Structure 1
């Protein structure tokens, strides 16, 4: 298998598992978890925040491993954590074990993306790299859609959610084996040491990246954690049992998220600033729709579709952006951006859970929608660069 297809396939499978059911699974099955483990909205927010905090820790550990051991170690360790987390959730007898499984599963995402920037930079030609990175990021969409379809099938067949998580564990084990095999040779070489040229990461040219990344992390984590539950608590979608709504929501999210494969094409035609403006507007509209019309088919599907496109395209845009700003060490720049994503992700669900408990789901989502709207206004005033920060 050539470097392009080996890295693309390995990355696609890694992101499909870690950014699919591992990262989205808690929000997807929150209705069942509420019932079986007596979770309040505030407690659900805390568990989600715990998982996203694991993502933050995973990023830091992965970066250190990448510098010392190369991409194979952090990626396979992350997929192993996802597999173990899936199994724990499937067997969970109480909320404590559930939270531990969610933590392991969601932490896996921190291990399993940035290393592919380094691997791609080493073994894939410049002209092919955007296509490879787009395929890696698109794995998320397929993983989310498959998880949504799994949840919907389990509901329609009257089967336990535990069977779904057991299936996720088997798929995670397979993805681990594929990545351990494909991330060899030149792609497995260690990356740059973490303590070199760190001043680049706080260069003024990089500030807009961190603002976009933090906003993106906060908004996407809140939507992932509570949007499907918002629809279910509002009575579900007309003509469909409330318990089936989350599967539909995440299936639409994943299918429309496949548009992330077009990010490179849109970037070439719109340029980075206009692409980012459009993505912030998309995020605000997506969150606003689930706030105002959680029981309307068109609004819910549009919200899920826009959120899927926003998440996949923004992640790919951050990857392109950091790869160009930090051409000598792309994983370092991308890890810094992902740390900002993780910080927003860790803060968002806990705050949203308690705000929802105090003021209601509609008010919480409307407040969340204001964040990408403010980010859009700030971006319009900012200077967005794509040249290396050493220039």
Structure 2
């Protein structure tokens, strides 16, 4: 683990990235959805207001993705990661003490922006400091930090429902954890140098390569699938009466806990890819996402349906995000962070469009039809994917 008394970059950067994504993608990006019932009760929030605040969070994530490469190019990976974790800390503290809906919205926006700021720079840091053979494992570790964050957020919500804990205490705890992650990342990233100066416009143009189209298509399908699941699955399961033997109000917490626990499989993404190859792994991940959505429609109100659906979605999200990280880095080794940002922007586009379309379709055709219809997107992606599409060779000579 150590070389001459200094922790190896593989371990320090993997741990720092794990903590950053645990905060940014756990309570930072998904916390609002977990606590909607409490926000409704405290602030008399209407459904349209809930939708507005949730959309503001997605907007924060999207803006964070655009700001991160600018800060990365100017000051190195330390800057966007620390700015993101600072935004998460302040945003969660704002939510914890919010007196009204506008202040909650500001806090959610800040907290969710951390997801766009604090993840992609690790592609650059790991590309510079970690040996080539260890990069997939390191990037998988960073991506899978999300699982722990989601599990902890789900446990906090479960304790709140069953033990009468105030949601404000939960969000204050999230803010304290974010501050600790800020300190750990400051220690780990301060020795990672700024990338050489380059023309950002040229870099974005370089990413418009036909070899990257499958990467972006997978990203879009993944973003659409995951956003619709996060936005509607737990509510649909609550409407179905939850699961036997547990308070109906605990259903969202249970969904997130199993989602996060099964998502820990993301830590094995690099090894599984080496065993079966990238094309087969992508097919299985897309099918897992499709089956997860289908189970929400056909098996609500059962423990088997809840655990299987949440678990498959957790595996789909965590392992696919890890694949996007190392696949983009292999396709564009000279642009590790920019290429990952491009893949996540494709996912973010799906995250913004998917729930809006699904909400309209649900009114017309019903929630069950929407889940089954959405499942067709990742299923079709799996069927259309060819081995030649999932190439890992550099898109351009380096």
TM class by shorter chain equals over 0.9
Which residue in the other structure is 2:127 paired with? 121
Equivalent residue, structure 1, for 2:228: 222
Q: Structure 1 381/274 Cα, relative in aligned 2: closer, same or farther at 3 Å?
A: closer
Distance 2:196 2:162 in 1: 47
Is the 8 Å Cα contact of residues 30 and 229 (structure 1) preserved in structure 2?
no
Aligned partner of residue 19 in structure 1, secondary structure: helix
The answer to which of 175-184 and 188-197 deviates more is 188-197
The root-mean-square deviation of aligned C-alpha atoms, in Å, is 1.8
Structure 2: 5+ residue stretches without partners: 1-6
Match of 2:180 in 1: 174
**Alignment correspondent of 1:296:** 302
Pick one of 102, 106, 109 that aligns with 2:108.
102
Does the 8 Å contact 1:22/1:108 carry over to 2? Answer: yes
CA shift, 1:47, in A, is 2.7
Distance (whole Å) between structure 2 residues aligned to residue 170 and residue 62 of structure 1:
23
Q: CA deviation at 1:191?
A: 5.4
User: Superposed, which structure 2 residues align to 1:203-282 within 5 Å?
Assistant: 203-282=209-288
Q: How does 1:84-99 map to 2 (within 5 A)?
A: 84-99=90-105
What TM-score do you get using the length of structure 1 for normalisation? 0.95
- Within-5 A mapping of 1:39-188: 39-185=45-191, 187-188=192-193
Residues 1:371 and 2:377 are matched in the alignment: yes
- On the 8 A contact 1:49/1:347 being kept in 2, the answer is no
Question: Which residue of 307, 310, 313 maps to 1:307?
Answer: 313
Contact 1:42/1:353, CA 8 A, preserved across alignment: no
| Conserved 8 A contact 2:242-2:301 | yes
Unpaired runs of 5+ residues, structure 1, are none
Counterpart CA distance in 2 for 1:8 and 1:384 is 25
Distance across 2 between alignment mates of 1:290 and 1:258: 21
Inter-partner Cα distance in structure 2 for 1:270 and 1:210:
22
**CA separation of 1:48/1:378 partners in 2, compared to 1, >3 Å: closer, same or farther?**
farther
Give, in whole Å, the separation in 2 of the partners of 1:260 and 1:351.
29
SS at match of 1:195: helix
Q: Distance in 2 between matches of 1:197 and 1:6?
A: 28
User: Deviation of residue 212 (structure 1)?
Assistant: 0.7
Match of 2:347 in 1: 341
Whether 1:319 and 2:325 are equivalent positions in the alignment is yes
Pair 1:190-2:195 in alignment: yes
Output one character per residue of 1:59-110: Cα deviation in whole Å (capped at 9) or x when no partner.
Answer: 1101100000000110010011111221222223333322222211111100
User: TM-score of the superposition, structure 2-length normalised?
Assistant: 0.93
User: Partners of 1:160 and 1:309 in 2: how far apart?
Assistant: 31
Is residue 3 of structure 1 aligned with residue 3 of structure 2? no
